Every structure is written in C-alpha cells, then in structure tokens.
Amino acid sequence: MNHYQCVLFDLDGTLVHTAGDLLSALNRVLDAEGRERLPMSAVRDFVSHGTNKLLRIAFGEDQPEADFARRRALFLDLYRNNICEYSRLFPGTSAVLDSIERDGGCWGIVTNKPAFLTDPLIYELELEERAACVISGDTTAETKPHPLPMLTAAEQAGVAPEACIYVGDAQRDIEAGNAAGMLTLIADWGYIDAAQQPEQWGADGRVQHMQDVLDWYRGQRQ
C-alpha cells in the first residue's frame, strides 16, 4: 500500500505559472509612471519572493515610502482584476492531479499568497472543488517557513503530515514541509533565481517535471 496519501503544492512557480499576469500588472504600473516595461527574463525567477520584491526590481530598492505604498496598491488592484489572463497550470499538472485522484489520494495547496488573490485564481482555474485544502498566507496565524500552514493543510485534508508530500520552489517551502514531518520535493521548473542554492535547502528530492512527482507519490523513488 502506498505510504503517501496526499500531495501538497506551493502555488506560484510550482502548481501554476503565474509570472505572466504578475509581469503584466507590474508593467502597467510602469506604464502609469511613464517608465520602460520589463521583459519576462527580468522578473520570472523572482516571482516567489512576492510583490515587494517585484516592485523593487521595477523601481529600485530605495523608494520613498509613499511612492512604494501607492505603487503596491495599484499593482495589487491591477493583478487582482486580471488574475488569470495568462496564468496556467504547469505542463503535465492536470494529468498528475487526475492520477492522484484516480489512485484514491488527494492533493491541496499551501501558499503564502493572500486569500484575496489565491481564491479567485483557484476559481478561474476550476480547481476549488477538487483541492482537499487551500491554505493561503492569511489562513493561519503563521506563514511558511513556519510549519503551521502545512499542519493545517494535512488536518483539513484528513491525512497525517507524514503521509503528505510537499512540492515547492522556495527554501521556505522545504523548511516548512520538513518541520511538519512531510517528504519535501523541489520543483526545478519553478521560480528559482541564480543566487539561490536549492541543494542546500535540505529537501528529500528534486523533480525536473511534474510527472516525476507521481513516482515519489507512488513510492517508486525514495
């Protein structure tokens, strides 16, 4: 019998390729200030660092507080209102989710993205009825790398933490999953910039393609 019963995924950069919509919102903020747009190559690998990082890439590290706050509010408004124009599941994801469900298992999402952005995205992708749990950045009192979101996800899914696999593309994902007693995998297709050192994150393994997650889930790779 398969030891693992549930696969939990980070959202941005692991389950869903959201960089296109985030870049679009960022470029519209740049447009509003008469600045030059950025290419995807400038932001893709930094998406997992969140809104503040993207704004600093676009406008510099030392922005007046009032300017930063104004830009952030506009960015979030633009992104929320166009949250799934370009965002899509990463290649192979639909087949993997189908396989997990056919095997009698379940899957869920644990993200630091706030619920007001997570929920509409999941709805647009038609995943809300399928996920055993969706834990956003404001669902619990703590966010990753704290293990509380992971433990809450396992509880909502009705599965013991040690029967869960967590797949993510950031160090905080691996730290949170490890602290919760889950098997952890690094999604090498994710938003990992050159300055990071995934080999030092302490994950149980790395996956090159979404299909590889099934091998771990079915106990074919340990």
pLDDT tens figures, 20-71: 999 999 999 999 999 999 999 999 999 989 999 999 999 999 999 999 999 9
Task: Tally Cβ neighbours within 10 Å of residue 131.
Answer: 20
Answer whether residue 1 is part of any domain: no
User: Known catalytic residue: 77?
Assistant: no
- Shared-domain flag, residues 98 and 10: yes
- Shared-domain flag, residues 70 and 30: yes
Final residue in a domain of this structure, among 81, 104, 131 = 81
Q: Which domain holds residue 171?
A: 6-17+87-217
pLDDT band at 221 (very low <50, low <70, confident <90, very high): low
Mean pLDDT of the chain: 96
Q: Domain count of the chain?
A: 2
- Shared-domain flag, residues 156 and 201: yes
The alpha carbon dihedral of 7, 13, 17, 21 has a sign of positive
- CA-wise closest residue to 106 among 151, 63, 159, 31: 159
- Shared-domain flag, residues 103 and 51: no
Amino acid at residue number 98: D
- Shared-domain flag, residues 193 and 92: yes
What's the pTM value of the predicted model, to 2 decimals? 0.95
Q: Judging by beta carbons within 10 Å of its beta carbon (0-12, 13-18, 19+), is residue 61 exposed, middle or buried?
A: exposed
- Shared-domain flag, residues 109 and 72: no
- Shared-domain flag, residues 132 and 167: yes
The answer to whether residue 220 scores a pLDDT higher than 80 is: no
Which of 10, 21, 45, 173 is catalytic? The answer is 10
Task: Quote the percentage of the chain above a pLDDT of 70.
Answer: 98
Answer whether residue 131 is part of any domain: yes
Q: Using CA atoms, how far apart are residues 116 and 165, in angstroms rounded to an integer?
A: 26
